Amino acid sequence: MPPRLAVIIPTFNEAQALPGLLEDLARQTGVRLEIWVSDGGSTDDTVIIARRAGAQTTVGRAGRGAQMNRAHALARAPMRLFLHADSRLPRADQLQRALRAWQDAGGRGVAGHFPLHFADAPAEHRHLFAFMEAKTRSGRPGTVHGDQGLLIHRADFDALGGYREQLPYFEDVYLSDAIFRSARWQLLPDALHTSARRFVREGVRQRYALMAVMMTAHALGDDGFFAASDALYRRQDQAQALSMKPLLSLLVERTVRQPRRWPKLLAYALQNAWQLPLMLRCRLTDRSG
């Protein structure tokens, strides 16, 4: 009997992206899927599309963490796979292979994530996207995020406390940190395709800089940084060009000008020094190709 897997997709106005993922899920072989679309109050046809495709739906308070926790509480299958709506599964046996890899890695106590491929990355920034793709294969702390998917046993998810719901974003980072501390990450076979749409709308370099600023504030334990700026994260349907100046000024004000945070800042910089040669290698590979 094929293994059972609950696929949980948080959505808000994803009528354009969702059909592609649902089609990919429908053609998966060697696995019995229980598909949940957890919606945060879409004003487009997201929920209608999900129901027509045979997915189960739940609608409630917006916020990815709350939405995914809500569907998790309703799902019956023993395994969970959390995916973003703009994810694509290029192989029909991708989830079967993922479950086998998870089991071979030890099963319980292991969480799986896919390497990423940005299928629609702008050509002029291909070296930066190649760098981001390479980071998803590194298995290092701070590099495993929700867009890579999360494959986990429901009991392990419960033991970790589920997703945080205090912010409408970063729920994946907190859970990723918890897995690094008390479980083990496993890189799954076959790349998960994802969209560069947010980078395109907000500006590729600006979006990457924003991610770096947010990760720095998180590493410093500065939750007040997120509370001090409501411009950090917009819903996908509201994404627009970013202005980094006020956010960088906020980071300087809360970090650089507070000497008590300098040791943590230095430690974080040293922990991530490995990224510089990786970025250089991706740039050189791009030029030689």
pLDDT at 142: 94
Lowest mean pLDDT across 73-77, 86-90, 117-121:
117-121
Read off the tokens for 288. Answer: 């030689």
pLDDT, tens digit, 9 for 90 and up, residues 149-175: 999 999 999 999 999 998 778 899 999
Please name each of the domains of the chain with its CATH number: 4-195 (3.90.550.10), 199-288 (no CATH)
Residue 107 has phi, psi (to 5 degrees) of 75, -115
125 compared with 245, residue with greater pLDDT: 125
In this prediction the pTM is: 0.92
Lowest mean pLDDT across 219-233, 241-255, 256-270:
219-233
Residue 181 has phi, psi (to 5 degrees) of -75, -40
- Whether the CB-CB separation of 95 and 34 falls below 8 Å is answered with no
| Calpha distance 42→271 (Å, rounded) | 40
| Calpha distance 229→92 (Å, rounded) | 42
242 has pLDDT over 80 = no
60 has pLDDT over 90 = yes
Which of 154, 161, 190, 188 has its CA nearest to residue 177?
A: 161
The sheet carrying 4-11 orders its strands as: 56-59, 32-39, 4-11, 79-82, 150-153, 110-113, 184-187
99 has pLDDT over 90 = yes
| Calpha distance 59→141 (Å, rounded) | 33
| Calpha distance 80→155 (Å, rounded) | 10
